[in-house]
Amino acid sequence: MILEEIIAFALLLIGSFVVTYIIMPRIIGVVTYKRLMSDPNERSSHSEKVPSLGGIAFFIVVTLGLYFIQSWDKYDISMSILPGLLILFVIGLKDDLVVLSPRTKIIAQLMAVSFLLYHPSFQIHHLHNFFGIEEVSLFVTVPLAAFVALFIINAFNLIDGIDGLAAMIGIVIFGVYAFLFFMLDLHYFMAICLVVMGTLAAFLRFNLSSSKKIFMGDTGSLIIGFLIAAATIRLFGVDPMVLKKMPFQLENLPIIVVAVLIIPVFDTARVFTVRLLNRKTPFSADRNHIHHLLIDYLHLSHKEASIFLSIVNILFFLIFLILGVNLDNVILFLALLVLIGVFVYFFFHINFSYKNLRKRVGIRKKMKVIRKNTNFFS
């Protein structure tokens, strides 16, 4: 990478931060003046009305960013990303204002993803010997890629439940992807990652503020989730000869990607499983997310819980990046299952222990009341 490109990448990162930092207070002012606030409810982690349209800044800055990085866009990939961004911006904005049904949002997400998968850069032809699978037909990979994209978009949307978490996890994910795209000399996607990182870093300053707080809302989480999905699918669509530049065995790529996305993937899989076991729809609302457990049961602050989960996300990636150099995908997959099992036990334990403690306290209180009544009547 030549000096001019290094400077250009640095300017993208800094520029996206500065523009977002300038735009965000204006959005807060307009949203507050028009009273387009997020009202707290029984699931909320906040007690006051807060502006929730921070995603408007994401759309503006990312769209501007795509204009400034078009010199790296040799295959007109922006023409597949922009329609998807526009669809999710509109649907996310409407959902933040009037609340849409899960079905409507899924249809909109599928439309957005369709624009991606139509472009050859997002078409997957190889699984690089993952569990012995090499070349794969598009009749298999296109529906699979669509499912993965929808899962990622909704997974990121679901972790946006406390201050700082979605932005911090987003910075971690795009930071890792920027590193991987740098290794592959895919400067266009590296530039997108840097733009989003700068945007999220500036948003984080307001999201964690006590006086100028704003949420990204569905407008923001859908846009960021869509870009994560685009980057993920693009990695799988890279030519095998180019992917040999990766610092791990190619057959381990799917497991490395899961490690990069571990927090949103694990949280969504866990929450959906719990809801289905309780005979509820996967999209029903509750406070059973891992960030809620950390706050409700371990009494961590929003900031502490977000930092904790971000560190876990980074450690997962680093562990599997190191293991992926020498281990084959079967052993690495087993290692992933073991670590996920530890994670499941940890969150089950704090939940179960707290409920047991609460039951014991409740029983003791009832016993005291019974004894008082018994003594009174005796």
pTM: 0.90
Contact call for residues 59 and 203 (beta carbons, < 8 A): no
Q: What is the mean pLDDT of residues 370-375?
A: 53
Residue 376: is it exposed, middle or buried by C-beta count within 10 angstroms (0-12/13-18/19+)? exposed
Residue-by-residue DSSP string for 275-317: HHHTT--TT---S-SHHHHHHHTS---HHHHHHHHHHHHHHHH
Query: Can you state the angle between helices 102-118 and 217-237, rounded to 10 degrees?
Result: 30
- Tell me, what's the pLDDT at 338? 93
* Per-residue confidence band for 141, with pLDDT thresholds at 50, 70 and 90: very high
Q: What is the mean pLDDT of residues 249-270?
A: 93
- Tell me, what's the pLDDT at 367? 46
* Per-residue confidence band for 282, with pLDDT thresholds at 50, 70 and 90: confident
* Per-residue confidence band for 7, with pLDDT thresholds at 50, 70 and 90: very high
Tokens for 132, please give them: 């012995």
Question: Mind listing the pLDDT tens digit for each residue in 15-48?
Answer: 999 999 999 999 999 988 888 777 665 555 555 7
Most confident of 96-100, 203-207, 345-349: 203-207
Question: Mind listing the pLDDT tens digit for each residue in 300-320?
Answer: 999 999 999 999 999 999 999
Dist. CA 188–CA 182, nearest whole Å: 10
Query: Can you state the angle between helices 253-260 and 302-323, rounded to 10 degrees?
Result: 170
Better-scored residue on pLDDT, 332 or 41 = 332
Would you give the DSSP letter of residue 227?
H
- Tell me, what's the pLDDT at 365? 52
CA 107 to chain centre: 20
* Per-residue confidence band for 363, with pLDDT thresholds at 50, 70 and 90: very low
Dist. CA 244–CA 247, nearest whole Å: 8
- Tell me, what's the pLDDT at 371? 55
Contact call for residues 105 and 221 (beta carbons, < 8 A): no
- Tell me, what's the pLDDT at 355? 52
Dist. CA 159–CA 172, nearest whole Å: 14
Dist. CA 323–CA 335, nearest whole Å: 9
CA distances from 257 to 27, 239, 262 (A): 34, 17, 8
Query: Whole-number mean pLDDT of the chain?
Result: 88
- Tell me, what's the pLDDT at 361? 45
Question: What is the percentage of the chain residues whose pLDDT exceeds 90?
Answer: 63
Question: What is the percentage of the chain residues whose pLDDT exceeds 70?
Answer: 90
Q: What is the mean pLDDT of residues 177-184?
A: 95
Q: What is the mean pLDDT of residues 55-61?
A: 96
Query: Residue 246 — left, alpha, or beta (φ > 0 → left; ψ -120 to 50 → alpha)?
Result: beta
Please state which of the ranges 16-20, 170-174, 329-333 shows the lowest mean pLDDT: 329-333
pLDDT at 346 over 70: yes
- Tell me, what's the pLDDT at 377? 46
Which parts of 69-216 fold into alpha helices (H)?
78-98, 102-118, 138-159, 165-183, 187-207
- Tell me, what's the pLDDT at 357? 47
Dist. CA 66–CA 86, nearest whole Å: 13
The closest of 177, 162, 347 to 260, measured between CA atoms, is: 177
Tokens for 85, please give them: 């961004």
